[in-house]
């Protein structure tokens, strides 16, 4: 699936099953909530925190998909083509960081 196809699929789902988009502020708050859920799993699975009994059913892939879904909703609502945005962002990073990471002593093993 392309990013464009994902944006179209989410839009179809929202306008049928979801009835309509939540407003942009609500979706921004939901995005922060979903990112927090990913952070919680990461802190427990890869960090120093331990899982609680209530955390046993967590699914990192599903939580990341929730983040992507809400991000796509926001992009659709604000008229952003995520394919173009990502391409421009990678171009910017490629120019800005052309030598930055290669010269970073912290990244050399």
pLDDT in tens, 44-84: 999 999 998 887 789 999 999 999 999 999 999 999 999 99
Question: Which tokens go with 79?
Answer: 């008229």
What CATH number should be reported for the domain holding residue 87? 1.10.287.1080
Domain of residue 83 covers 3-107
Question: Which tokens go with 32?
Answer: 């922060």
Question: Which tokens go with 53?
Answer: 């009994």
Q: Reduced to 3 states, what is the DSSP secondary structure of residue 22?
A: coil
- pLDDT-derived band at 2, boundaries 50, 70, 90: very high
Number of domains in the chain: 1
Distance from the first to the final alpha carbon of the chain = 36
Q: Reduced to 3 states, what is the DSSP secondary structure of residue 20?
A: coil
> pTM for the complete prediction?
0.89
Q: What are phi and psi of 98, to 5 degrees?
A: -50, -45
Average pLDDT score over residue span 21-43 = 97
Q: Does residue 5 contact residue 44 with C-beta atoms inside 8 Å?
A: no
pLDDT at 109 over 80: no
């Amino acid at each position: 699936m392309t990013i464009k196809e994902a944006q179209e699929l989410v839009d179809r789902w929202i306008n049928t099953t979801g009835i309509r988009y939540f407003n942009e502020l609500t979706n921004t708050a939901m995005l922060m909530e979903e990112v927090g859920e990913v952070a919680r799993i990461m802190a427990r699975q890869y960090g120093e925190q331990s899982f609680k009994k209530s955390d046993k059913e967590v699914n990192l892939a599903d939580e990341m998909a929730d983040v992507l879904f809400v991000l796509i909703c926001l992009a659709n609502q604000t008229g952003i083509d995520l394919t173009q945005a990502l391409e421009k962002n990678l171009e910017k990073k490629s120019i800005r960081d052309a030598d930055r990471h290669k010269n970073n002593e912290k990244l050399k093993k």
